[in-house]
């Protein structure tokens, strides 16, 4: 039985190594489908047989328990103390080995699911330097001037959206910034103490070309200096939710036609902390509080049938697609502004 278990584990280990390489190299749906067929044909759940490890771990626990009780009755017994220490180390080693095997399966499940998410959402990985990219974006958008201690882009993908009238490339990102502050306290003896506190914050967003509008900011949670003129459309709901600043009041009035105002009101209900910055370089940064690019798998390679059914479903992220559709609507209403 041990030989069979060992052979099955070796076979699984080789298969997982091959799978890992293929997942990394998968660039399209056909290559991902081929990986799924391989998993289906493997013939059993992708799960290590850890019975030998569990028996060893339980045996070591038993020895440790007996040694502990013996030491309570007969303290300072060198051999038993040595036995207790050795059994404790053995428990730790086998627990780590079991955890590592499970983590391997989980990590591969994550990688395969993530590859599927990227393909379904037309995402491409794009190399970047977090702090450097945040500094570059801050030259165009005040959104990235938040934080007095640290500013960095933590996650970035490049995507493509094809609408009925417009198509555009966009980047989706996670922005992490840190505010540093000093807190003073007084203890019960009247002694003053100061300590430095670091507050970590995350905001999410999209940036993309938007050639029809420039020099306008529409903000519900603004950070940075205001510029130009303020503008208020006729909608009370819009003015309650947003503040508009523009280099040209006429340009703001031209962009914020009634259909656009309604679209932004609806968008503001869906995305808290919504800001839109149309830079002078013809770029739009839309930022907000919720993470619209979240995904979470329900199954893994240790239950291949359920996992494969999940993978074969479309993994397009609804809130992201909805937001991209609204950007397309803004483009459609703006393409005759000039």
Shared domain check, 211 and 110: no
- Dist. CA 275–CA 293, nearest whole Å: 17
DSSP string, 148-196: SSEEEEEEEEEEEEE-SS-EEEEEEEEEEEEEEEEEEEE-TT--EEEEE
Neighbour-count burial for 265-276, b at 16+ CB within 10 Å, e otherwise = eebbeebebbbb
Looking at the structure, do residues 163 and 290 belong to the same domain, yes or no? yes
Instruction: Verify that 101 and 145 share a domain, yes or no.
Output: no
- Let me know whether 106 and 157 are in one domain: no
* pLDDT tens profile 28-65: 878 888 888 888 777 677 776 666 766 776 776 776 67
**Same structural domain for residues 283 and 306?**
yes
pLDDT at 64: 67
List the one residue out of 320, 284, 325, 283 whose CA is nearest residue 164: 325
In which domain, by residue range, is 111 found?
2-120
Q: Which two tokens stand for residue 268?
A: 């503001």
Query: Are residues 131 and 89 part of one domain?
Result: no
> Which has more pLDDT, 37 or 329?
329
Say how far residue 249 (Cα) sits from the centre of its chain: 38
Split at pLDDT 50, 70, 90, the class of 224 is low
Higher pLDDT, 151 or 71: 151
For residues 298 and 270, give the distance between their C-alpha atoms in angstroms, rounded to a whole number. Answer: 25
Residues 265, 316: one domain?
Answer: yes
3-state DSSP call for residue 125?
strand
> In the listed set 120, 149, 166, which residue is the last one of a domain according to the structure?
120
Residues 107 and 137 in one domain: no
Say yes or no: 19 and 133 in one domain.
no
DSSP 324-338: HHHHHHHHHHHTT--
pLDDT over 70 for what percent of the chain? 82
Residue owning tokens 């977090």: 130
Q: What does the radius of gyration of the chain's CA atoms come to, in whole angstroms? A: 28
Looking at 120, 137, 167, the residue that finishes a domain is 120
Query: Same structural domain for residues 114 and 166?
Result: no
Q: Where a domain ends, among 64, 92, 120?
A: 120
108, 67: one domain: yes
Please report the pLDDT score of residue 17 as a whole number: 83
Compute how many other C-beta atoms are within 10 angstroms of the C-beta atom of residue 84: 19
Q: What is the pLDDT of residues 133-149, one digit of tens each?
A: 999 999 999 999 999 99
Q: Which helix (H) or strand (E) holds 145?
A: none
Say whether pLDDT at 220 is over 60. Answer: yes
Number of separate domains in the chain: 2
Please state, in angstroms and rounded to a whole number, the distance separating the CA atoms of residues 42 and 99: 23
Q: What is the dihedral of CA 81, 83, 87, 93, to 10 degrees?
A: 90
In this structure, are 75 and 158 located in the same domain?
A: no
DSSP-assigned letter for residue 273: T
Mean of pLDDT over the chain:
85
């Amino acid at each position: 039985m041990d030989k069979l278990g060992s052979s099955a584990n070796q076979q699984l280990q080789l298969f997982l190594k091959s799978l890992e390489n293929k997942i990394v190299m998968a660039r399209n749906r056909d290559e991902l489908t081929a990986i799924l067929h391989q998993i289906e044909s493997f013939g059993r759940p992708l799960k290590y047989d850890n019975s030998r490890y569990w028996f060893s771990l339980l045996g070591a626990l038993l020895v440790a328990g007996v040694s502990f009780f013996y030491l309570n009755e007969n303290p300072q017994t060198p051999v038993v103390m040595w036995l207790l220490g050795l059994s404790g180390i053995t428990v730790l080693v086998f627990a780590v080995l079991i955890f590592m095997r499970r983590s391997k399966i989980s990590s591969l499940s994550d990688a395969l699911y993530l590859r599927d998410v990227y393909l379904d959402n037309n995402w491409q990985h794009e190399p970047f330097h977090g702090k450097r990219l945040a500094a570059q974006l801050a030259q165009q958008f005040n959104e990235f001037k938040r934080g007095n201690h640290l500013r960095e882009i933590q996650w970035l993908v490049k995507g493509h959206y094809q609408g009925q009238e417009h198509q555009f490339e966009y980047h989706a990102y996670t922005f992490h910034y840190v505010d540093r502050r000093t807190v003073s306290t007084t203890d019960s003896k009247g002694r003053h103490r100061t300590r430095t506190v670091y507050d970590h914050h995350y905001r999410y967003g999209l940036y993309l070309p938007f050639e029809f509008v420039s020099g306008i900011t529409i903000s519900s949670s603004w950070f940075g200096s205001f510029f130009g003129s303020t503008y208020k459309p006729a909608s009370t709901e819009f003015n309650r939710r947003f503040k508009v600043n523009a280099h040209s009041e006429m340009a703001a009035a031209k962009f914020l036609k009634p259909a656009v105002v309604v679209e932004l009101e609806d968008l503001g209900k869906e995305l808290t902390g919504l800001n839109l910055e149309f830079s002078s370089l013809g770029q739009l940064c839309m930022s907000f509080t919720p993470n619209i690019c979240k995904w979470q798998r329900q199954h893994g390679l240790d239950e291949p049938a359920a996992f494969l059914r999940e993978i074969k479903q479309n993994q397009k992220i609804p809130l992201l697609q909805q937001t991209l559709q609204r950007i397309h609507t803004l483009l459609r209403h703006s393409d005759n502004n000039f």
